Amino acid sequence: MTRISSAIKHDESDGLTPLERAAKNKMILGLFIPLQNGAWTPSTYPRGTDWTFEYNAECTIRAEELGFDLVFGLAQWLGKGGLGGDMKFRETTQDPLLVTAGLAALTKNIILISTVHVLYGWHPLHLAKYAATLDHMSDGRWGINMVTGIKKEDFAMFGLEHVEHDLRYEMADEFVGIMKQLWQSDENLDIEGQFYKMKKGFVSPKPRYGRPVIVNASSSGPGFDFAAEHSDLLFITRPVGKDVYGLLKEHNGNIKSRAAEQGKSVKTIINPHIICADTEKEAFARRQAFIDHADPVALKNFFSLITGGDTVSWKGAVMDDLAVGGNMQIVGTPEQVVEKMMRLHDAGIDGIQVNFYDYLPDLEYFGERVLPLMKEAGLRN
């Protein structure tokens, strides 16, 4: 065995796939790596968080050492200046597909999930081939977060007409169906679909475990139906309302019943921003500092981006929350953070995809103070 293959080969003694191994935990644990300048927080409060590959690799390697199950990269298409302000929020962004390729050779156990806007000029054959290649590069640890896009400006950037919300999911359904056929078939495929055509399409090698991990992000009925049919993980957002945990329980019940009707299961994962400190006062003071130092122009544009378009995700978001980042915030002492994680679990959430403000030191604190309490609570093995 070469040194390279030894570096990426994970322990298969339990006979499980990487996702099955992660799901043995009551709470799957992921890290939302900062591929964009400013990451999730349009604030100028001091921090070391950086968009570079080197920084993201350091975050990923440390997350793997701490026992995280997966890392997840956001994809975004913005013009010059990004979302504006003095910080030019998210002007500089890395492509998550290429970043996960680079991370494959640097890691051994952690699942690497890349977001791809599948309707922005892709053909299923292209992505099926790239996915199979990345699957082998990572020894079966690669996954795709399939998103369909929401902004007219994005489609226009690729010279495409904007596609209506529900039609996007019809197109995505055909897209992933073709990829699945390509991953499974030992013969050339001819496809004459409603949206995609192909003559003698073929992909080899086949993915390590039949197909890569499939993820989608949605809070709409068509998105839930897509997940029920195709996805292993559904990346959901916090419902609007005062009883967040009660609404999440209802939300999860809806999603999982749709999957059960298809004879399968899907796990849900949500994105909290973790602000943790030795005292509650210190944690909330830190949160307020992010808000007080928000770049007003970047924040306003971020709010418009998140709440605009025809997506139903993020509706009801408030400025202060977006100044901090993440779809929801978990703020407090290590004990309080774990208590809120338990409430998420009790509401039917299967995993969290966390982000931080100052990634490396915050990740280190999380590993030292929060992870042991998660294990004590039975959330982690």
- pLDDT tens digits for range 87-116: 999 999 999 999 999 999 999 999 999 999
The pTM assigned to this predicted structure is 0.93
How much is the pLDDT for 262? 84
How much is the pLDDT for 22? 97
Average pLDDT, the chain: 92
How much is the pLDDT for 1? 42
Choose the most confident range, by mean pLDDT, from 112-126, 232-246, 303-317. 112-126
Mean pLDDT, to the nearest integer, of 222-235? 90
Lowest mean pLDDT of 71-85, 206-220, 315-329, name the range: 315-329
Q: Tell whether the model's pLDDT for residue 10 goes beyond 80.
A: no
Q: Tell whether the model's pLDDT for residue 351 goes beyond 90.
A: yes
* Candidate CATH numbers 3.30.470.20, 3.40.50.620, 3.30.530.20, 3.20.20.30; the one for domain 3-376: 3.20.20.30
User: Three-state SS across the chain?
Assistant: CCHHHHHHCCCCCCCCCHHHHHCCCCCEEEEECCCECCCCCCECCCCCCCCCHHHHHHHHHHHHHHCCCEEEECCCCCCCCCCCCCCCCCCCECCHHHHHHHHHCCCCCCEEEEEEECCCCCCHHHHHHHHHHHHHHCCCCEEEEEECCCCHHHHHHCCCCCCCHHHHHHHHHHHHHHHHHHHHCCCCEEEECCCCEEEEECCCCCCCCCCCEEEEECCCHHHHHHHHHHCCEEEECCCCCCCHHHHHHHHHHHHHHHHHHCCCCCEEEECEEEEECCCHHHHHHHHHHHHHCECHHHHHHHHHHHHCCCCCCCCCCCHHHHHHCCCEEEEECHHHHHHHHHHHHHCCCCEEEEECCCHHHHHHHHHHHHHHHHHHCCCCC
pLDDT tens, position by position, 156-205:
999 999 999 999 999 999 999 999 999 999 999 999 999 999 999 999 99
pLDDT tens, position by position, 282-315:
999 999 999 999 999 999 999 888 776 655 555 5
